[in-house]
Structure 1
């Protein structure tokens, strides 16, 4: 495969500022996730600056421990237009190591109450030594990105009025 990223786009009936606020809240990420791997935010502070680290508790059946934690570093923060982070892990010595893949959401306001959201998973910066470990990129099926965008749309939508 020559292309080293995948993306999906969905138009949601929600203002870009609201969509961005949901994405900048790590406590919503488990509900957005389309794989079921993201479990809970270990760091619950809103994402407010490039370089910020936020940790997420994860589970994957093929991970050596099953349960594990990722340390994400915010790479892009342009409210309300873009947000993205680089997943990694904390080593025993406390240093962070990143694998080279990034999650990025781009938001295009289409009016006061509608937003085009594009979710991209990009692994073009993954170094050769990680690729040689036999990790498949992307590590999920094609439906994952679309599922995540639909979950995001549901979370960001105003509560229905009864």
Structure 2
């Protein structure tokens, strides 16, 4: 695959600020996730600044130990227009290491009560050493669409 990112877009009938607030709350991420891998937030504080680290409990049946934890580093925080983070892990010595893939949400207000949401998963910065062990993207493109539909249900209170 020449393209090193995948995106999906959905319009939701709520203001951008409300969508942003849900995305900036790590406790909502398991409800939004389209793969079922994200479990619960370890760090439950809202995302408020670039560089902030937040950890999530995860589960993936194809891992040697199904349960694991990721560390995410906020890369983009432009309320209520964009939010994004790098995903990585904490090594045994406490050092954080990021793999080079980023999740990014772009919010475009279409009026006072409607927002176009674009979710992009970008792996263009993943080094070859990681690409030898992980196929990118590690999920089908429907994952992004599923996530946006989950987000729409969550922000609209359904």
Unaligned runs of 5+ in 1: none
Q: What residue in structure 2 maps to residue 81 of structure 1?
A: 81
Aligned length: 158
Alignment of 1:71-150 (within 5 A): 71-133=71-133, 135-150=134-149
Output one character per residue of 1:64-119: Cα deviation in whole Å (capped at 9) or x when no partner.
21100000000000000000000000000100000000000000000000000000
Structure 2 length-normalised TM:
0.98
Q: Following superposition, which runs of at least 4 residues in structure 1 exceed 3 angstroms of deviation?
A: none
CA RMSD of aligned residues (A): 0.8
**TM-score, with structure 1 as normaliser:** 0.96
Residue in 2 that maps onto 1:34: 34
Distance 2:67 2:60 in 1: 7
1-side partners of 2:132 and 2:8: how far apart?
27
Q: Which runs of 5+ in 2 are unaligned?
A: none
CA–CA distance in 1 between the matches of 2:69 and 2:79? 27
Aligned-pair CA distance for 1:36: 0.2
